[in-house]
A and B are shown apart, each in its own frame.
Chain A
Amino acid sequence: GAVVSQHPSRVICKSGTSVKIECRSLDFQATTMFWYRQFPKQSLMLMATSNEGSKATYEQGVEKDKFLINHASLTLSTLTVTSAHPEDSSFYICSAPDSWERNNEQFFGPGTRLTVL
């Protein structure tokens, strides 16, 4: 199957700093990528849809100015958590659909565990 990578896998930062998380589709092009947030023992919550060449679409309740998304190319989307606070500590996962002709599967990155001190 298609491969999606995320970097970094883990990050620990001080409160008030910004953290950038990269999501790359390694062997296919993704005009759309999705960013999810997952708290311990909870489900994945869709934060935003990243669209190549246009602005991201944010889900209700997600602060656009805090979670900046840039879909720089057909293989790269970045999520920047600005002025991070301890409550932003979470597991962030990106995903990308490969193509409509397949079984419509989404391919997930391995996730980034963010800890804000």
Chain B
Amino acid sequence: AQKITQTQPGMFVQEKEAVTLDCTYDTSDQSYGLFWYKQPSSGEMIFLIYQGSYDEQNATEGRYSLNFQKARKSANLVISASQLGDSAMYFCAMREVNTGNQFYFGTGTSLTVIP
């Protein structure tokens, strides 16, 4: 079974609008971490936001927020006030404590911001 599922291969958003990128995960562990990374065309992986499984509040980092719904095993990324520079691939990832530091990545969502 897929550990991380991203069901949106591509998304479009108007500049200055908000967009939600979906991510669901599968784990039987109680302790895990969820991450979102941005990968522009240059290839570098840019860390955006982190949510720990025991964190009660949704994580926020500037224009990024993570809508964490533990019971539904979803960790959607919300980008507010989209900018042209937000156009990139976005990957959701999970790390389970019991499997050490290994990351499981989703298939990614390609976001295009339209002027």
Query: Could you tell me which A residues sit within 8 Å of B by CB distance?
Result: 1, 32, 34, 38, 41-44, 46, 49, 91, 93, 95, 97, 103-108, 110-111, 113
Contact = CB atoms under 8 A, between A and B. Distances in A.
B20 to A, nearest CB: 20
A13 to B, nearest CB: 19
The number of chain B residues touching the other chain, given as a range, is 20 to 34
A32 B105 contact: no
Interface string B1-43: 0000000000000000000000000000000010101000011
Interface stretch (B68-76, B79-87, B96-104): B96-104
Nearest to B103: A106
Given A103-B50, A108-B45, A44 B105 contact: yes
28 contacts: A34-B102, A38-B43, A41-B89, A41-B110, A42-B107, A42-B108, A43-B105, A43-B106, A43-B107, A44-B91, A44-B103, A44-B105, A49-B100, A49-B102, A91-B43, A93-B43, A93-B45, A95-B103, A103-B52, A104-B33, A104-B52, A106-B35, A108-B37, A108-B45, A110-B44, A111-B43, A111-B44, A113-B43
A46 to B, nearest CB: 7
Nearest to A33: B101
A86 B102 CA distance: 28
B89 to A, nearest CB: 8
Contact of B101 (A34, A43, A103): A34
Contact of A105 (B35, B100, B107, B110): B35
